[in-house]
Amino acid sequence: MIKVSEHIENLVPYKSGNKIDRNITREEFKKLINLASNENPLGPSPLAIEAIKNNIGELNIYPDPTSPELIAKLAEKFNKDPKNLMVGHGSDSILQYIFYTFFKKGDELLTASSTFIGTYVNANKQGMTTILVPMKKDYSFDLNAILSKITLKTKVIYLANPNNPTATMFTHSDFVKFMAKVPKDVLVILDEAYWLYAKSMPGYLDGFEFENENLIVIRTLSKAYGLAGLRVGFAYAPEYMINYLNRVKLPFEPNSLAQIAAVAALDDEDFIGKMLEVNHKSMDILLDAIDNAGIARTEPSANFVMMILDNEVKARTLCNKFLDNGIVVRQLPMFGLPNAIRISTGTVEQSEKAAKVIYSK
């Protein structure tokens, strides 16, 4: 038997939010209301669907490795130099490339105790040491506590804003103060997967406004634009970082249909407007039910909210009750929060059905 590196042997495979403990088929799962994965309940952008239909006959042709049309569209939309942008097979892929490019075994990652699991996984793949800082009482990033943990061994700080799975966010002013105190040789990764949902929140932080030499911002089209199944992510960073990242990324990602769909989706303002309207209405329905049921929760800035139960057993019981009513939500032991449940907004009808389960707890 070929020996595997110890840090790989000890890796725990990622378990997605759309997995449940009951053995059912894919077709059976599709009949359930999935409020576990922060997906767009309206489906993909209609413009993206049309673009795919119009180009599906070109699957025999390799995509351009430089993704010129998608990079140009992103540069136009966000008013950035194309040299500061890259795309990949989802923001997960870009996150992996960042770790491959800039870090090595023994380097230290500093982040929160309850944030995106993919961060821990990628650090473990590299044999890095992960230092976890407890969240604040409101389950948001404690930026001051993170600053206090920086040492000469710290190579990277990962921040998610809004954070997954807690749905909380820190503000623009918080981040400005934070970055002013981070050493210039420590890379800060700012994950803004849910930026479109947070834009209307007071104090909203737009990472694309910053030009720090030690900052990289990553985003995805999986959530708001409904392209989770195609996997399209993008990053904004100093040109030197982008150059290095493009050296390690696989040459033909995203795939051709993903690139074409992404270009079209980025122009679909009508779809984004409808999505935000549905998210707002559905979130109001869920928060109303949670508050009236006397369940503690976070203040959400995304398309999901985290419910906090008294203990793990009560959280599991409520998850099972949702499932008995045809709804999938996510209990959060993998995030270090076994007594918590993440529930995404669905359509208004789906959210109303979820609210009835919460009311009847």
- Domain containing 160 equals 46-265
Answer yes or no: do 310 and 181 share one domain. Answer: no
Q: What is the rounded CA–CA span in Å between residue 106 and residue 258?
A: 36
- Sheet of 187-191: strand order equals 85-88, 233-236, 215-220, 187-191, 154-160, 108-112, 129-133
Is residue 342 domain-resident? yes
CB neighbour list of residue 274: distance below 8 Å, 6 or more residues apart: 42
Answer yes or no: do 161 and 72 share one domain. Answer: yes
Q: For position 159, which CATH number holds?
A: 3.40.640.10
Nearest to 100 by CA among 92, 329, 31: 92
Strand partners, 156: 109, 187
Answer yes or no: do 92 and 153 share one domain. Answer: yes
Answer yes or no: do 110 and 200 share one domain. Answer: yes
Q: For position 312, which CATH number holds?
A: 3.90.1150.10
The pTM score is 0.92
**End of a domain among 237, 265, 293?**
265
Is residue 145 domain-resident? yes
Answer yes or no: do 237 and 185 share one domain. Answer: yes
Q: What are phi and psi of 238, to 5 degrees?
A: -55, 150
Answer yes or no: do 96 and 131 share one domain. Answer: yes
Answer yes or no: do 328 and 349 share one domain. Answer: yes
Answer yes or no: do 57 and 143 share one domain. Answer: yes
**End of a domain among 265, 293, 322?**
265
Answer yes or no: do 106 and 131 share one domain. Answer: yes
- State both tokens at 236: 């904004």
Q: Per-residue confidence of the chain (361 residues) as pLDDT tens digits?
A: 756 566 566 656 555 555 555 566 666 666 799 999 999 999 999 999 999 999 999 899 999 989 999 999 999 999 999 999 999 999 999 999 999 999 988 999 999 999 999 898 888 888 899 999 999 999 999 999 999 999 999 999 999 999 999 999 999 999 999 999 999 999 999 999 999 999 999 999 999 999 999 999 999 999 999 999 999 999 999 999 999 999 999 989 999 999 999 999 999 999 999 999 999 999 999 999 999 999 999 999 999 999 999 999 999 999 999 999 999 999 999 999 999 999 999 999 999 999 999 987 6
Q: What single-letter DSSP state applies at residue 234? A: E
Answer yes or no: do 38 and 50 share one domain. Answer: no
Name all contacts of 274-280 with Cβ < 8 Å and 24+ positions apart: 274/42, 275/40, 275/42, 275/224, 275/226, 276/196, 276/197, 276/200, 276/224, 278/41, 278/42, 278/345, 278/347, 278/348, 279/197, 279/303, 279/345
Answer yes or no: do 258 and 275 share one domain. Answer: no
Q: How many domains does the chain have?
A: 2
Answer yes or no: do 89 and 227 share one domain. Answer: yes
Is residue 222 domain-resident? yes
